[in-house]
Chains A and B, each alone.
Chain A
Amino acid sequence: MEEIRVGGMYFSLDLSLPLYEQVLEQVRSSIAKGEIALGDKIPSVRELAQALKINPNTVMRAYQELEREQLTETRRGQGTYITSDIAKVDLIRYRVADKAIEEFLSKMTGLGFETPEIDKLLRIKRGEAHE
């Protein structure tokens, strides 16, 4: 999977999974990581579709969802901007973090670890405990 940089955001799309969800997720994560700053303009639907070589409808759907979540706002005739409300971005940061934790836990459970062991391994990793 090729990583594509568009206006500060990074995308890497897997054609075997729905593209809409990936575009949405990757813009959210760019916002959460601060790759794109509060109040910044994001690429137009056409620009992003061109950069990712995907159907503009897919980008449009993802942008509509971001707007619905109030992470972006469209100013008539000017384009789409990231919200300047830090509380909204923080909420997304926690949501992205929550998802990362869930993925981590599911991987650990898959390897046969249970909660006390996982806790211990995390403490060891942070240097708070010894093997």
Chain B
Amino acid sequence: MNDTANVAIRAEDVCKSYGSRQAIRNLNMAVPAHSVTAILGPNGAGKSTLMRMITGMETPDTGTFSVLGRKPSWELNRWIAYLPDRAQWYSHHMVEHALEWARTLQPGFNEMRARDLMVTLDLDASMKVEGMSKGEEARLMLALCLARDVPLLVLDEPFSGIDMISRERIVAALIDSFSEREQTVLISTHEIAETESLFDYAVFVDKGVAVLAGDVERMRAERGSLQQVYRQLYG
């Protein structure tokens, strides 16, 4: 996979430290274009750091990233819908305001799609963001991301700490989204059992290194389920 048309994200020998702690160490990976790729690994493996570097929120100390054929930057982020692991909201906002905010500030925001997603994800436009459950908030954030017509979707832990029903609604919304368009999707998650059937490519990260990456169907044929591979690697 040397062709940028076939690779949406490429990392080459990326290192990143915070003080004395090495978050990412000589990480290499190539995420296939139009794939639904999982970033898997235990807490502290470097998954969120990786995603923040892809979206230009952090810069590598050494090594390079190529995202959609370019260097990560604020400018490039107009082509990326990013769901960070920790959301920040203006609590007085209503869902309606969040939609307005997205319409004004988010390039490629498709309001009709957003309204459809609100129905799928069981959200009401008149709800106040303050007082929302964690599950509702996650569904709102996801709706805003999925409503953008952009070539890359980056979701950092979209399922963590979310109730089963919200999780099922999110999975259903993702499957609809995958059926509708060609988009590269990168998802980091701990909920492997519930989500592994969604992925076609997986990258396992451990202590800042990509220890295993490949086509998920081939992993199933050669080593078993992603859950089994996870246990082999980290157990």
Residues on A close to B: CB < 8 A? 13, 15-20, 45-46, 49-50, 52-58
Indicate which residue in B175, B199, B220, B226 contacts A56 across the interface (CB closer than 8 Å): B175
In the assembly, what is the distance between CA of A45 and CA of B178, in Å?
A: 11
CB atoms of A16 and B228 under 8 A apart: yes
Indicate which residue in A15, A45, A46 contacts B197 across the interface (CB closer than 8 Å): A15
Residues in chain B near residue A20, CB distance under 8 A: 217
CB atoms of A17 and B221 under 8 A apart: yes
* Minimum distance in angstroms from B222 CB to a CB of chain A: 10
A-B contact count (CB 8 A): 54
Given known A-B contacts A45-B179, A46-B176, A53 and B198 have beta carbons under 8 A apart: yes
CB atoms of B220 and A49 under 8 A apart: no
Q: Mark B143-174, 1 if CB is under 8 A from A, else 0.
A: 00000000000000000000000000001100
Residues in chain A near residue B178, CB distance under 8 A: 49, 55-57
Interface centre among B176, B196, B198, B224 (most CB of A within 10 A): B198
CB atoms of B220 and A55 under 8 A apart: no
Counting chain B residues whose Cβ lies within 8 A of the other chain, the interface size class is 20 to 34
Residues in chain A near residue B224, CB distance under 8 A: 16
> Does B227 sit within 8 A of A, measured CB to CB?
yes
Indicate which residue in B175, B199, B200, B227 contacts A49 across the interface (CB closer than 8 Å): B175
CB atoms of B225 and A55 under 8 A apart: no
Residue ID in chain A nearest B219 by CB atoms:
A18
Residues in chain A near residue B198, CB distance under 8 A: 53-55
Residues in chain A near residue B199, CB distance under 8 A: 55
Residues in chain B near residue A58, CB distance under 8 A: 200, 217
Interface centre among B171, B179, B198, B221 (most CB of A within 10 A): B179
Residues in chain B near residue A57, CB distance under 8 A: 36, 178, 200
CB atoms of B227 and A55 under 8 A apart: no
CB atoms of A53 and B220 under 8 A apart: no
* Minimum distance in angstroms from A13 CB to a CB of chain B: 7
A/B interface sample: 16 pairs, CB < 8 A: A15-B220, A16-B225, A18-B218, A19-B197, A19-B217, A50-B175, A53-B175, A53-B197, A55-B36, A55-B197, A55-B199, A56-B175, A56-B178, A57-B178, A57-B200, A58-B217
